DNA sequence: GAGATAGATGCAAACGATTGCATATAAATT
DNA sequence: AATTTATATGCAATCGTTTGCATCTATCTC
């Protein structure tokens, strides 16, 4: 690979001149520029971004830490992140944690050490101390989906409202026995969805029925499937099931079908975290749709703001809450 | 952030000694080591990976170029890649192209310039010249899913066999009017799936019926949906539909349901690129399942081999073909 | 007891860029 | 004509590491 030095030699000027010419960072004689461009062309010179990073103390990279990118809302958020990041001149580095705190720690440790300028994370919540350390060391941190710590800016959806509106909607449809298959409650969004569900159920004078998923992201389908049995046991008059995630919804529909229970006539189903899959199902699923891509775009905008602000020592924490919108489909 | 120099000063030794102590790369007196570790601890020193990269000419990062990571086989492959990469001490940088050659070019140009040691790519096929350039400049390149160029090692599935076996299977089930909803034929795996389909149909003495999807990855559901109408128009006696991708299958099922056509009694459906979704559907879908995660793991192993081999100037191109396995489900 | 060897450390040059400072010429201002 | 100002370039330090080479002591070998 040709370096600046090679270009300089070929163009018979100093490396500094070449650098200035290529970055338009100071006066360079047009003639000289021409020579330099010619040399660049001839050697097909490409600046070494690593060297540039080292010197400028800036990586132009964003670390993204997610529980898992396949078949979940994160997949779409990451798309948004990537899109916007590219637009703003950043690369993204992705790390999957499977919601395992150790994996997460490993990811984060990898990212600090000057690999990235900022980290966008959907954290397990078990490494907040490390995150603060990282933040203190000058790496921007913003939280996605899960606002574990007020310290760091965040982009989330209004999960509480999702749970609340979900119940109210089903209640308005005539349901009185509304079960809820939730995710692991030690993860904030699930806790909040429950809160909304709980409040609404109370207001409606209904008795709540909740089952909780295990930690494992990949078992959501199975958890939804198994949840149906549990809910029916708790209340045979069950007439609606709310699930936290689309994949659980698939499991629920599957289980109901096997029991020959009619959707939506006998039991209605809705998801609180809708993304594209809901509209593509055989029986399309009513859900609270999250503007996932927009959230990703916003996250990137936010982290870049923080990165730039850090340089000027102007922190400006902010917490953005996106509204989900209820989309009515066949399951209700 | 503390640097080697800071540690050296605190431990009253030279930076070189610190470096050697931390990397176990030469003799360092135990006493000195102790002092150094203490200093490291005290300053919570973390090595700057950028500087290390620059000096060692190695990035320990792999670039991954995919059409899109959500709701596609790529999502799972990337999981495998990431998993294995972490194990081998590499970070991954992801780029989405949406199968747009310009995006792809942009990605690649970003990756060259010393950002990564190797690139794993599912290419549009429009930038092979650039890829050769990149490869020639010392960056390892391996192809995933799409073997566009024999020049570069590859990991693919046996798409031809998928198409062939799919037809044979349906034929054995009694189907004689087997339609095929394929992806864009200028993309190799689709071309090969067609080839297998074509050969089997010929052998079976059936007349082929094919519709082709547009380029756009996101429209697969819609393409499947629309494909049903087209196929039925071509042959009202249609008794089976093969789709290239799961998402198309969702569209097909949806369309058949709207027409009140019974699956599998009247028309059977199967997908040639199965991943997890097939087993989670309301009517589970028969499909040729791809060992996506394994493919990802293999890809990472392969690129790392190439990266290491490059260092020793021993290229060893290889082309790996994974077999897909037929999993029978409710749609047939 | 002379020479070889292993153990321990420091000096300084890389890696490939950017950038503050100095310098030189040309053009503009007073 | 003297002084500023704009234009144009080079020198050398710097970012934070790694590493070849030189040096020095202590131990070992014959």
Span B76-131, pLDDT tens digits: 999 999 999 999 999 999 999 988 999 999 999 989 888 999 999 999 999 999 99
Q: Does A280 sit within 8 Å of B251, measured CB to CB?
A: yes
Instruction: Provide the CA A23 to C1' C26 distance, Å, integer.
Output: 24
Instruction: Provide the CA B312 to C1' C4 distance, Å, integer.
Output: 34
Whether residue B164 is found in the same domain as residue B16: no
pLDDT of residue B299: 98
Helix axes B4-11, B15-23, angle to 10 degrees: 100
What is the pLDDT confidence band of residue B12, given thresholds at 50, 70 and 90? very high
Tell me which residues from 29 to 88 on chain A have a beta carbon below 7 angstroms from nucleic acid strand D.
Answer: 29-32, 51, 54-55, 57
pLDDT of residue B215: 67
Contact B128, B105 (CB under 8 A): no
User: Could you say which residues from 203 to 232 on chain A have a Cβ atom under 8 Å away from some Cβ of chain B?
Assistant: 221
Total beta-carbon pairs less than 8 A apart between chain A and chain B: 134
Of the candidates A286, A281, A289, A271, which has an alpha carbon nearest to the alpha carbon of residue A330?
Answer: A286
Is residue B331 assigned to a domain?
Answer: no
Whether residue A136 is found in the same domain as residue A170: no
Contact B117, B59 (CB under 8 A): yes
| Three-point CA angle B240, B245, B249, nearest 5° | 45
Is residue B146 assigned to a domain?
Answer: yes
Cross-chain CB nearest to A50 (options B1, B50, B95): B50
pLDDT at B15 over 90: yes
- A 10 A CB-CB count for B63 gives 26
Interface test with B, best of A6, A66, A70 (most B CBs within 10 A): A70
pLDDT of residue A1: 83
Whether residue A186 is found in the same domain as residue A283: yes
For residue B312, the SS3 value is helix
Whether residue A149 is found in the same domain as residue A180: no
pLDDT of residue A186: 86
Whether residue A282 is found in the same domain as residue A169: yes
Q: Does B112 sit within 8 Å of A46, measured CB to CB?
A: yes
Strand ranges across the sheet with A61-66: A319-322, A153-157, A140-144, A118-121, A61-66, A91-96, B91-96, B61-66, B118-121, B140-144, B153-157, B319-322
Helix axes B49-56, A101-115, angle to 10 degrees: 60
| Three-point CA angle A212, A217, A223, nearest 5° | 40
Is residue B330 assigned to a domain?
Answer: no
CATH of the domain at A32: 1.10.260.40
Q: What percent of chain B has pLDDT over 90?
A: 85
Least confidently predicted of A6-10, A21-25, A73-77:
A73-77
Distance CA B332, CA B329 (A): 6
Contact A114, B50 (CB under 8 A): yes
Judging by beta carbons within 10 Å of its beta carbon (0-12, 13-18, 19+), is residue A258 exposed, middle or buried? exposed
pLDDT at B310 over 90: no
**DSSP H helical ranges for A175-285:** 188-204, 220-234, 246-258
Q: Which is more confident, A214 or B67?
A: B67
Whether residue B112 is found in the same domain as residue B17: no
Of the candidates B187, B75, B63, which has an alpha carbon nearest to the alpha carbon of residue B123?
Answer: B187
pLDDT of residue A290: 92
Is residue A331 assigned to a domain?
Answer: no
Q: What percent of chain A has pLDDT over 70?
A: 97
**Max CA distance (Å), chain A:** 86
pLDDT tens digit string along A223-243? 999 999 999 999 999 999 999
Residue A23 Cβ < 7 Å to strand C: yes
pLDDT of residue B217: 64
Is residue B332 assigned to a domain?
Answer: no
The first and second tokens of residue A162, run together, are 């999702």
The first and second tokens of residue A31, run together, are 């003639």
- A 10 A CB-CB count for A92 gives 22
Q: What percent of chain B has pLDDT over 70?
A: 97
pLDDT at A34 over 60: yes
**DSSP H helical ranges for chain B:** 4-11, 15-23, 30-43, 49-56, 73-87, 101-115, 128-136, 159-172, 188-204, 220-234, 246-258, 292-312
Domain range enclosing A27: 4-47
pLDDT of residue A314: 62
pLDDT tens digit string along B201-231? 999 999 999 998 876 666 889 999 999 999 9
Whether residue B78 is found in the same domain as residue B169: no
B38-58 core/surface letters (b: 16 or more CB in 10 A; e: else): ebbeebebbbbbbbbbbeeee
Q: Phi and psi dihedrals of B124, rounded to 5?
A: -75, -20
Q: What's the start-to-end Cα distance of chain A, in Å?
A: 61
Average pLDDT over residues B44-68: 94
- Alpha carbon B207 to its chain's center: 33
pLDDT tens digit string along A287-332? 999 999 999 999 999 999 999 886 655 668 999 999 999 999 999 9
CATH of the domain at A100: 3.40.50.2300
Q: State pTM to two decimals.
A: 0.92
What is the pLDDT confidence band of residue B311, given thresholds at 50, 70 and 90? low
pLDDT tens digit string along A151-190? 999 999 999 999 999 999 999 999 999 999 999 898 899 9
pLDDT of residue A212: 85
CA of B134: how far to CAs of A52, B105, B312, in Å? 20, 11, 18
Is residue A329 assigned to a domain?
Answer: no
Whether residue B170 is found in the same domain as residue B271: yes
Whether residue B177 is found in the same domain as residue B285: yes
User: Helices (H), strands (E): how many in chain B?
Assistant: 12, 12
What is the pLDDT confidence band of residue B329, given thresholds at 50, 70 and 90? very high
CA of B84: how far to CAs of B77, B81, B88, B91, B122, in Å? 11, 5, 6, 10, 18
pLDDT of residue A187: 87
What sign does the dihedral A19-A24-A27-A33 (CA atoms) show? positive
Average pLDDT over residues B25-33: 94
Instruction: Provide the CA A71 to C1' D3 distance, Å, integer.
Output: 72
Is residue A112 assigned to a domain?
Answer: yes
Residue B31 Cβ < 7 Å to strand C: yes
Q: Say which residues have a Cβ less than 8 Å from residue B52's Cβ, sequence separation at least 6.
A: none
Looking at the 3D structure of chain B, how many domains does it have? 3
pLDDT at A277 over 90: no
Distance CA A267, CA B142 (A): 50
pLDDT tens digit string along B154-191? 999 999 999 999 999 999 999 999 999 999 898 899 99
Q: Phi and psi dihedrals of A151, rounded to 5?
A: -55, -40
On average, the pLDDT of chain B sits at: 93
Cα R_g (chain A), whole angstroms: 25
User: Which DSSP letter does residue B219 get?
Assistant: G
pLDDT tens digit string along A63-120? 999 998 876 789 899 999 999 999 999 999 999 998 899 999 999 998 988 899 999 9
Whether residue A131 is found in the same domain as residue A31: no
Whether residue A230 is found in the same domain as residue A254: yes
User: Which DSSP letter does residue A63 get?
Assistant: E
Whether residue B177 is found in the same domain as residue B277: yes
Contact A40, A190 (CB under 8 A): no
Is residue A332 assigned to a domain?
Answer: no
pLDDT at B313 over 60: no
**Chain D bases closer than 7 A to any CB of the protein:** 7-12, 14-20
């Amino acid at each position: 690979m040709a370096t600046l030095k090679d270009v300089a030699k070929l163009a018979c000027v100093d490396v500094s001149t070449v650098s200035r010419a290529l970055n338009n960072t100071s006066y360079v004689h047009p003639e000289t520029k021409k020579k330099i461009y010619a040399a660049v062309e001839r050697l097909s010179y490409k600046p070494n971004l690593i060297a540039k990073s080292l010197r400028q103390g800036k990586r132009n990279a964003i670390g993204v830490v997610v529980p898992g990118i396949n078949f979940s809302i994160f997949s779409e958020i990451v798309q948004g992140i990537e899109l916007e990041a590219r637009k703003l001149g950043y690369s993204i580095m992705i790390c999957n944690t499977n919601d395992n705190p150790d994996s997460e720690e490993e990811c984060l440790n990898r990212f600090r050490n000057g690999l990235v300028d900022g980290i966008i994370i959907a954290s397990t919540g078990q490494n907040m101390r490390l995150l603060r350390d990282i933040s203190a060391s000058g790496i921007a941190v913003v939280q996605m989906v899960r606002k574990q710590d007020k310290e760091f800016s965040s982009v989330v959806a209004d999960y509480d409202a999702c749970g609340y509106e979900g119940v109210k909607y089903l209640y308005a449809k005539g349901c009185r026995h509304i079960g809820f298959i939730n995710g692991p409650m030690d993860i904030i969004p699930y806790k909040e969805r429950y809160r909304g569900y709980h409040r609404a159920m109370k207001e409606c004078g209904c008795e709540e029925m909740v089952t909780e998923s295990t930690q494992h992201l990949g078992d959501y389908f199975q958890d939804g499937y198994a949840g149906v049995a549990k809910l029916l046991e708790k209340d045979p008059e069950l007439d609606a099931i709310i699930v936290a995630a689309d994949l659980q919804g698939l499991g629920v529909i599957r289980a109901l079908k096997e029991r020959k229970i009619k959707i939506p006539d006998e039991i209605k189903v809705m998801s609180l975290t809708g993304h594209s899959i809901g509209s593509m199902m055989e029986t399309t699923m009513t859900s609270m749709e999250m503007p996932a891509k927009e959230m990703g775009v916003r996250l990137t905008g936010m982290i870049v703001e923080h990165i730039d602000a850090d340089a000027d020592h102007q922190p400006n924490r902010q917490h953005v809450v996106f509204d989900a919108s209820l989309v009515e489909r066949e399951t209700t």
